[in-house]
Amino acid sequence: MGKKFFVSDCEGPISVNDNAFELAGHFIENGEKFFQIVSHYDDVLADEIKRPDYTAGSTLKLILPFLKAFGATNQNMKEFSRENVLLIPGARATLSLVKQIMPSYIVSTSYKPYIQALCDLTGFPFDQCYCTRLDLDRYVMDDEDIKKLKEFTSSIVSEPEFDNLENIFWEEIPQMNIGSIIDEVKTVGGEAKKEAVLDIMVKNSFQGHNLMYVGDSITDVEPLNFAREEGGVSVSFNGNEFALENASIAVIADNTTVTSVIADLFNRYNRRVVLEFVASFEKDPEKTVEDLPVDPQLALKLSETNTRMELITKDNFGELKEDSCKFRKEVRGESIGGLG
């Protein structure tokens, strides 16, 4: 039968944060608006244009020269991240459960300092995490480059047109010393998240049908689709349209207890039981937890949450997209919830 294993994105399914967005807002002038523009540009390159060798989630390396120009360092990024971790209710208990019942991993586009901070807070082992690693301090930036990058920031905010961003990111910045950071930092998003899942499988001789993957955004498209196609469990947790298009199960919830329930059922039984549980829960939640083999303690906790679960179909996709995106913004805030 093989050993089941659990993999989750971090920001969204586990935490409320978008750490890179928050770092941009903290360090960069007009940083939140700047980040939203660059994030939308990233979505266009990854999903619409499908630029070869471009990875969804590359916003996190595109903004690095600007973070450094406005004074970000390894240390103050670490301190900011440590002071601002905000978990989805239930996440600490969910991480504790899943790591007890099966091999569990976090695969996140987030920067390493944030994932380290989250692991310190929750007790989840950092050596079972994949994330975007960087050393901002090793890159040198002179006064002229700082001045240019601050001018580029203003230009992006005032003129967010595609051609302007193309020129800044692929013509201007590559000519600067700091430009090498965009090539050298490898973000863990999109295809790189799927590669992380494959790395976990190779190292542990796991099979794809034994995978439970939880994601919520464009950076989770490839691993969500992989889990679904391999016959595993593929969950969109308060996901946007990108996640919903590639998952089998839509979860709309204010608490991660539902993740614990699905993980426990999958570990003890199989995908069929999970899908039966979700289909039944949609019709009658109370009867479902009584009739199906849901852990009694988890069932009690689940009854105290605001949770909706459905199998994703062509018929309900439009409604789920509208409701999940709306709830996502309620849980994570309008600015973060609206990002790809």
Confidence of residue 336 (pLDDT cuts 50, 70, 90): confident
pTM across the whole model: 0.93
- Say which residue, 2 or 181, is predicted with more confidence: 181
Model confidence over 281-314: pLDDT tens digits? 999 998 998 888 999 999 999 999 999 999 999 9
Confidence of residue 332 (pLDDT cuts 50, 70, 90): confident
Model confidence over 145-202: pLDDT tens digits? 999 999 999 999 999 999 999 999 999 999 999 999 999 999 999 899 999 999 999 9
Model confidence over 38-53: pLDDT tens digits? 999 999 999 899 999 8
Does pLDDT of 74 surpass 80? yes
Does pLDDT of 330 surpass 80? yes
The pLDDT of residue 338:
64
Does pLDDT of 75 surpass 80? yes
| Domain residue limits, the chain | 5-11+95-112+116-129+189-337, 19-84+135-184
Confidence of residue 15 (pLDDT cuts 50, 70, 90): very high
DSSP letters for 147-183: HHHHHHHHHHHH---HHHHHHIIIIIGGGSGGGHHHH
The pLDDT of residue 289:
86
Q: Give the pair of three-digit tokens for residue 79.
A: 């301190």
* CATH architecture label of 19-84+135-184: Orthogonal Bundle (1.10)
Confidence of residue 337 (pLDDT cuts 50, 70, 90): low
Confidence of residue 56 (pLDDT cuts 50, 70, 90): confident
Does pLDDT of 27 surpass 60? yes
- Say which residue, 55 or 28, is predicted with more confidence: 28
Does pLDDT of 335 surpass 70? no
Beta strands in the chain (DSSP E): 5-8, 104-111, 129-132, 211-215, 233-237, 249-253, 307-311
**DSSP-based three-state secondary structure for 74:** helix
Does pLDDT of 340 surpass 60? no
DSSP letters for 16-46: S--HHHHHHHHHSTTHHHHHHHHHHHHHIII
Q: Which CATH number describes the domain made up of 5-11+95-112+116-129+189-337?
A: 3.40.50.1000
